[in-house]
Structure 1
Amino acid sequence: MINPKRTYSSFISDVRIAFILFMVFAVSHAQQAEQIPEVMVMARVQKDRVLLRWGTTTPVSWLRANKYGYVIERYTITRNGVLVDPPESKSLTGTTLLPLPLENWEQEVEQNDNAAIMAQALYGESFEVEEMQGGLAQIISKSKEIEQRFSFALFAADLDFKVAKMGALGFEDTDISPNEEYLYKIIPKIPGEILKVKSGIVSVKIKEPEPLPKPIDVIAVPDDKSILITWEYAMFKPIYNAYHVERSEDGNTFARLGDTPLVNLNDKPGSPARRMFYVDTLPQNNKRYYYRIVGISPFGEEGTPSDVVSAEGAKKLTSVPHISRYEFNNSGGVVLNWEFKKESESEISGFQLNWAAQEKGPYRTVQSNIPASSRTTTFTNPEPSNYFRIVALGKNNQKATSLTSFVQAIDSIPPKMPIGLTGVVDSLGVVNIKWEANTEKDLLGYRVFRGNLDAEELSQITVAPISKNTFVDTVQVKSLNDKVFYQIVAVDKRFNMSDYSEKLSIKKPDVVPPSSPVFKSYNQKEEGVLLQWINSSSQDVFQHKLYRQKVNEAKKGWQVIFQTDTITSYLDTDVGSNIKYRYAIFAEDESGLLSAPSTPVTITSKKDVKEEQLIKGFSVVADRTNKNVMISWRKMPEEVTEITVYKSKKEGKPVLFKQMPNTMNRIVDNAVSPGNTYVYSLKVITKQGNHSKVETKEVVF
């Protein structure tokens, strides 16, 4: 620890800093040498002022800034919630802000260790760290002197805002107004040709200052003549960078433990610390001590103390129980015996028995309140595998736990046979099987067996028992066997095996389509087109499908017109006259696979009626008074099933206008406009599917 009673001159000339406990607020920044250094700045609003704290990110940039100084500019960006455009600018430093000269530090150094550290970092002839045991001290001893100066300077500035201002790392802006928002810019005046350093920027709203929070989740853990104090660190890391631990013997009057604040040396880049820890050594056990935590902000402010916690030091137990033997009684329970020193019984309130199904736990308490004089107990419901621990409960909340003892029950009863076995196989040969899960507590898993023939003995395909009651397998679908067979065996932890499950038979997917049928002949009949074919020769054919399409409407695709299982001929009566048709026939098997199509046949159906005699009295009349066109014709004979009217403007492309049954003989077109010539075409279709000759009329509207 730095001795404030030393003379200033001797202190400044050669201080060997021994307080290695407090390191590095910013040593991690020194590792950013490959990046352009910058000024990192933070701000805090107090009642009548704004506090600014900053620091550069590298030792070299800090050293240069100490020589050339900083300039602080302030910009007012809003006032009473209204944007100030353009922002009002103001220089807060007037001249360049530099660390105070050496002679201005003497009085403060005599009273303030943080000032002594900052002065030595700025002006000391040498800056060394005493050789100490431990990895941290060795690393610091080997680091460069400028890095040591840089790190300790930032640390001292963090703990004392007055020292920060003296070292040109802090500033107070007292010329502020309520309900304004400022942007502060810290500009290092280092010439660019020497070193480029980015300026630091922070924005601040002037409002009522927020109180610093109190540390939370403070816990006191008692031990023999010591108490471990731990509290939440990560949540308040942006607010506090150091802490004081305070202790009281009556819960009212607190005194700080040590003159130096605590910093978290476990907080490292890539592995941030979640909590802070402090061990307080006690003069005696069995006396209650009270503790609270006080945080320190980077502006040197002390926050609200935490809630008070308390604890008593407790003497460690001098004896540990040891499980010496076990045996099974006639009821199947486990009788446990252990050893524990008789003279240590006065230190404990009793024992408890902990149990787990596996060595790594978790352990649960299965018996408590076992008397301190007892050395045996019985566990009545053992599992196939049991792990036991005996815990001695000290009167001061101390615990002493025995080593784990493994007890295995005798088991010759196999699990029940698995039931409910089901499964499916997809087209890629992936088999998914499942079954009802066994309920035995000592179940280890299941073995899966597979075969290709019903009569053969199945082979095991699992290397070790599987824990789930499902299994995924892969089989060859293109093979001579159309089925695959499975059985399941349950295995317990003593490797007792159940009976084989009932055999599951799964049909493999059919991936080979049937052979194609072949057209034998076709004939034109008055009723239509007669087609004959030879069915597919494949054994698993389910049905044959006959398809048809109009050659001039091939884009519309094929249409199924007939399906059969054994019939080998079909009379297609739903054909029109003089229309070219194409026919193809497919075979479909039980798996839904279609064969390749037969060689298609193309047929032009014959004309069997004189359609031109069907349309009579076709006329088109323009009614300019009612602004429509009347289209009419004589009543159609019964053989006509549908009447179709097409419409277009002259020289235009006809489009379908109306489709009607044979009972109608007139329609009215209201969608006409003066000055146009309209063309109307009439066509009918008979029951045999024949189309009449198209009759066309024009009308000038």
Structure 2
Amino acid sequence: MYHIKGALSSNSLKRSICLFILFVVSLSAFTQNVGQDPTIQVIARVQNEKILLRWAPTSPSAWMKANTYGYQIERYTVSRNGILVSPPEKKILTSAPLIPEPLEEWQTLAENNDYAAILAQALFGENFEVEGMEDEGAMAQIINKSKEAEQRFSFALFAADMNFEGAKMAALGYEDRSISDNEEYLYRISAVVPENLLKIHSGSVVVKSLQPEPLPAPIDLIAIPDDKTILLTWEYEMFKSLFTTYYVEKSENGIDFTQLEDIPLVNLSRTSESERQRMQYVDTLSVNNKKYYYRVKGISPFGEESLPSEVVSAEGIKKLTAIPHIVNYTLEDINTVLIEWEFPKAVEGNILRFELNWSMNKKGPYTIVDKDLLPNSRKTRYQKLAPSNYFTITAIGKNNQKKESLSAFVQTIDETPPTPPIGFEGTIDSLGIVTLQWQPNMEKDILGYRIFRGNLANEEVSQITIAPIEKAVFRDTVQIKSLNNEVFYQVVAVDRRFNMSDYSEKIKLEKPDVIPPSSPTFVDYKINTNGVYLEWIRSSSTDVESHQLYRQNTEESEKGWELLLTTKTETSFTDTTLKSNTKYRYAIFAKDNTGLISEASTPVTLVFKNTVPDMIKGFSVIADRTNNKINLNWRNTSKDIAEILIYKSKKEEDPVLWKQVLGSINKIEDRSVSPNNIYVYHLKAITTNGSHSTIKTKEIEF
């Protein structure tokens, strides 16, 4: 336990919390990026007939100066019974700037609350040092070397989060009891510090005086047991704006719970890059096999305690350390093997069962082939052997602990080759694609097939497959235009021991006399205001006489394809005879000198939209804060405008369609606005033929 030197008596400090909290706070929720002016950050919470406010500056220097000059609180009533109040009703809640209560006022509260004692020391202590850290490692040394002002600031913010009465006395909290039902308020907190000393930006928060909502209970509490430890984890991300810290409670009977730690738990990872999604806590146990019950409570920045989470239970389990070892196997027949293994008899009570795992490869993946082997079993049979077999034995302990043996290799003896494939046949299409097929072999250990090809009836065929293929079908490609018009094939079956069958019967396939040219290919297209630019690669066939480019209007598909271009040498074309907002499909063919036409290229399908720029000019947005509205004005430069689309959003939000007005309208009012917001408006004109203008955008701070 580390203690802090300060202004109060030693009795006030005996309950003071560990320095660990200071580091965990990571300087609370009120932090500042280096190089920015300090700001007052504000949060609020509604309670019965009152609104609680909490605030803090974002730098130690701003906090210390504000402690001297104080804070002013302004309240603006912005709506009443759902109706906007214009202009908002202003009320200053502080007759004089709020500053921390003098030291003598702190004694009673500090004697009864650790966090109030810490706040008082941070405010009034003659010095603020942390004792007992000389041998506590690098983390403690780093904090010990930090500036005293930063230590005071850090402790003060965390302690104010944990005790609202102390926060009020430290001028970091306020209760507004002069509220009315169904009113919405904007609170502004300002530091009364001269700007020539330090510029501190004010902070604000909007609150509705509705019925208070209770704090939710933490959710998704999970207990994960281990050897004399239980890991507790629960949802953090969802409630990180509601709860500053957490307490873990423990029970032996599920009814009487005791808080585990005097200090609260805080998430250490507060940066956006590494922020945790869940909280974690490890409870160390004295014994295993004893059930404990746990629940979690969240603590808000106003010191409020939430309802407890649902109760979970767990008990420590002894860690499984023994590993099974396969010691022998016996081949009983070509399909069956007896596997034997060793495992210490003394630790059988720590496991639930054994599992037998099998794979054809040493690296797996392994399949569980027997998962119900009793803890006292030491052998089992496997009756579906393949030519190559790898086995492992896994001991399954409690809490799904697993210990797996090394693999053992079992190989069967097989010197019998498979039968030659039958039903071998094939075809050649006009593109020279050969399709071969045959009846699959019925042997269970078939690995695949090898394909052989020859160009003459009496020559020896050559293998054309690199490795055995699994399926009883194969595709090959031959040159149609060659000196020979025939090609010959045979197939051989191979089993998993690489025994090869005899050759199948040899089949002869005749090549087609001619084939169409190869297809050209589209390689690029661009859509611009003039039309569609297309580019292609010509057919690779040497006898191509021309290329033909076709277009189809998909909305008029019944009219078929329209020929746009016939060319021998060109490889690009720009289509300018298009309708806006229309989908077109393009295809290109090659035609050879015998009149054969290639297959179509892969079609290009696109939508042509003609954008008409500068149809809207003079677009402006003007804030009328007196009447609580924003005026939008513009000029239409074309009689072809059919309608105006207006999109609206707040800064950093996605725009949505707000208004859709006739093309003859050139101004509009927006009364759905609230102070202290930045609004963004986008205008787009739509013409009678479906074209649209370039988008005009304006931004305004209201």
TM-score range, shorter chain: 0.5 to 0.7
Residue 642 of structure 1 corresponds to none
2:21–2:263: 8 Å Cα contact kept in structure 1? no
- Percent identity reads 48
Q: Are 1:208 and 2:226 counterparts?
A: no
**How far has the Cα of 1:166 moved from its partner?**
2.4
- Corresponding letter in the other structure for 1:179: N
- Corresponding letter in the other structure for 2:8: Y
1:65–1:190: 8 Å Cα contact kept in structure 2? yes
2:470, 2:400 → 1: CA distance? 40
Inter-CA distance 512–360: structure 2 relative to 1 (3 Å threshold):
closer
Residue 647 of structure 2 corresponds to none
Inter-CA distance 41–539: structure 2 relative to 1 (3 Å threshold):
closer
1:4–1:112: 8 Å Cα contact kept in structure 2? no
Given the alignment, which residue of 575, 590, 598 partners 2:595? 590
2:197, 2:477 → 1: CA distance? 71
Residue 168 of structure 1 corresponds to 171
1:257, 1:425 → 2: CA distance? 82
**Residues 519-534 of structure 1: pairs in structure 2 closer than 5 A:** none
1:244–1:257: 8 Å Cα contact kept in structure 2? yes
User: Match of 1:103, SS?
Assistant: helix
2:147, 2:500 → 1: CA distance? 70
**How far has the Cα of 1:443 moved from its partner?**
10
- Corresponding letter in the other structure for 1:234: E
1:434, 1:56 → 2: CA distance? 80
2:437, 2:195 → 1: CA distance? 77
Residue 642 of structure 2 corresponds to none
2:424–2:436: 8 Å Cα contact kept in structure 1? no
1:133, 1:382 → 2: CA distance? 61
User: Match of 1:378, SS?
Assistant: strand
**How far has the Cα of 1:238 moved from its partner?**
1.9
Residue 49 of structure 2 corresponds to 48
1:37–1:58: 8 Å Cα contact kept in structure 2? yes
Inter-CA distance 94–6: structure 2 relative to 1 (3 Å threshold):
closer
Residue 311 of structure 1 corresponds to 314
Inter-CA distance 337–542: structure 2 relative to 1 (3 Å threshold):
same
- Corresponding letter in the other structure for 1:401: K
**Residues 473-484 of structure 1: pairs in structure 2 closer than 5 A:** none
**How far has the Cα of 1:179 moved from its partner?**
0.6
Q: Are 1:8 and 2:11 counterparts?
A: no
User: Match of 2:338, SS?
Assistant: strand
1:180, 1:144 → 2: CA distance? 44
For residues 619-640 of structure 1, the C-alpha deviation after alignment (integer angstroms, 9 at most, x for no partner) is: xxxxxxxxxxxxxxxxxxxxxx
Q: Are 1:510 and 2:517 counterparts?
A: yes
1:15, 1:358 → 2: CA distance? 63
1:32–1:58: 8 Å Cα contact kept in structure 2? no
Residue 620 of structure 1 corresponds to none
Residue 36 of structure 1 corresponds to 37
User: Match of 1:307, SS?
Assistant: coil
User: Match of 1:60, SS?
Assistant: helix
Q: Are 1:297 and 2:300 counterparts?
A: yes
- Corresponding letter in the other structure for 1:590: G
2:224–2:231: 8 Å Cα contact kept in structure 1? yes
1:185–1:200: 8 Å Cα contact kept in structure 2? yes
**How far has the Cα of 1:301 moved from its partner?**
0.9
**How far has the Cα of 1:208 moved from its partner?**
1.3
Residue 108 of structure 2 corresponds to 107
Given the alignment, which residue of 367, 371, 375 partners 2:370? 367
For residues 522-566 of structure 1, the C-alpha deviation after alignment (integer angstroms, 9 at most, x for no partner) is: xxxxxxxxxxxxxxxx997999x9xxxxxxxxxxx9999xxxxxx
Q: Are 1:271 and 2:278 counterparts?
A: no
2:380, 2:20 → 1: CA distance? 54
Gapped regions of structure 1 (runs ≥ 5):
514-537, 546-556, 561-585, 594-701
Residue 177 of structure 1 corresponds to 180
- Corresponding letter in the other structure for 1:259: D
2:4–2:129: 8 Å Cα contact kept in structure 1? no
Inter-CA distance 88–343: structure 2 relative to 1 (3 Å threshold):
same
Residue 340 of structure 1 corresponds to 343
- Corresponding letter in the other structure for 1:120: Q
2:330–2:338: 8 Å Cα contact kept in structure 1? yes
Q: Are 1:199 and 2:214 counterparts?
A: no
1:202, 1:432 → 2: CA distance? 76
2:474, 2:205 → 1: CA distance? 61
1:323–1:403: 8 Å Cα contact kept in structure 2? yes
Inter-CA distance 589–143: structure 2 relative to 1 (3 Å threshold):
farther
2:348, 2:266 → 1: CA distance? 43
2:434–2:475: 8 Å Cα contact kept in structure 1? yes
2:434, 2:187 → 1: CA distance? 67
For residues 510-532 of structure 1, the C-alpha deviation after alignment (integer angstroms, 9 at most, x for no partner) is: 3799xxxxxxxxxxxxxxxxxxx
1:482–1:508: 8 Å Cα contact kept in structure 2? no
For residues 450-509 of structure 1, the C-alpha deviation after alignment (integer angstroms, 9 at most, x for no partner) is: 9999999989899x99999999999999x99999x9999999998899999999989887
Given the alignment, which residue of 260, 264, 267 partners 1:261? 264
Residue 20 of structure 2 corresponds to 20
**Residues 441-456 of structure 1: pairs in structure 2 closer than 5 A:** none
- Corresponding letter in the other structure for 1:190: V
Instruction: Provide the alpha-carbon RMSD of the alignment.
Output: 5.6
**How far has the Cα of 1:177 moved from its partner?**
0.8
1:415, 1:465 → 2: CA distance? 16
Inter-CA distance 82–27: structure 2 relative to 1 (3 Å threshold):
closer
**Residues 658-669 of structure 1: pairs in structure 2 closer than 5 A:** none
**Residues 585-664 of structure 1: pairs in structure 2 closer than 5 A:** 589-592=594-597
Inter-CA distance 389–12: structure 2 relative to 1 (3 Å threshold):
same
Given the alignment, which residue of 114, 125, 129 partners 1:127? 129
1:423, 1:190 → 2: CA distance? 92
**Residues 543-562 of structure 1: pairs in structure 2 closer than 5 A:** none
1:52–1:170: 8 Å Cα contact kept in structure 2? yes
User: Match of 1:271, SS?
Assistant: coil
Inter-CA distance 411–481: structure 2 relative to 1 (3 Å threshold):
farther
Q: Are 1:72 and 2:73 counterparts?
A: yes
Inter-CA distance 590–435: structure 2 relative to 1 (3 Å threshold):
farther
Inter-CA distance 558–240: structure 2 relative to 1 (3 Å threshold):
closer
1:142, 1:109 → 2: CA distance? 27
Inter-CA distance 339–509: structure 2 relative to 1 (3 Å threshold):
same
1:415, 1:156 → 2: CA distance? 85
1:435–1:470: 8 Å Cα contact kept in structure 2? yes
Inter-CA distance 363–540: structure 2 relative to 1 (3 Å threshold):
closer
**How far has the Cα of 1:221 moved from its partner?**
2.2
1:12–1:123: 8 Å Cα contact kept in structure 2? no
- Corresponding letter in the other structure for 1:181: E
1:419, 1:445 → 2: CA distance? 15
Residue 231 of structure 1 corresponds to 234
User: Alignment length, in residue pairs?
Assistant: 526
Q: Are 1:117 and 2:118 counterparts?
A: yes
**How far has the Cα of 1:13 moved from its partner?**
11
The structure number with the bigger radius of gyration is 1
1:306, 1:264 → 2: CA distance? 18
User: Match of 1:89, SS?
Assistant: strand
Greater Cα offset, 3-12 or 446-455: 446-455
2:25–2:154: 8 Å Cα contact kept in structure 1? yes
Residue 566 of structure 1 corresponds to none
**How far has the Cα of 1:279 moved from its partner?**
1.8
2:184–2:209: 8 Å Cα contact kept in structure 1? yes
Gapped regions of structure 2 (runs ≥ 5):
521-540, 549-561, 566-590, 599-702
**How far has the Cα of 1:75 moved from its partner?**
0.9
2:151, 2:430 → 1: CA distance? 71
2:193, 2:16 → 1: CA distance? 30
- Corresponding letter in the other structure for 2:339: L
1:369, 1:26 → 2: CA distance? 55
Greater Cα offset, 447-456 or 148-157: 447-456
For residues 638-665 of structure 1, the C-alpha deviation after alignment (integer angstroms, 9 at most, x for no partner) is: xxxxxxxxxxxxxxxxxxxxxxxxxxxx
For residues 267-307 of structure 1, the C-alpha deviation after alignment (integer angstroms, 9 at most, x for no partner) is: 54302212222222223333222111111112111111111
**How far has the Cα of 1:123 moved from its partner?**
3.1
Residue 155 of structure 1 corresponds to 158
1:225–1:313: 8 Å Cα contact kept in structure 2? yes
1:362, 1:151 → 2: CA distance? 53
- Corresponding letter in the other structure for 2:47: Q
1:15–1:120: 8 Å Cα contact kept in structure 2? no
2:59, 2:436 → 1: CA distance? 64
2:146, 2:474 → 1: CA distance? 61
Inter-CA distance 199–5: structure 2 relative to 1 (3 Å threshold):
closer
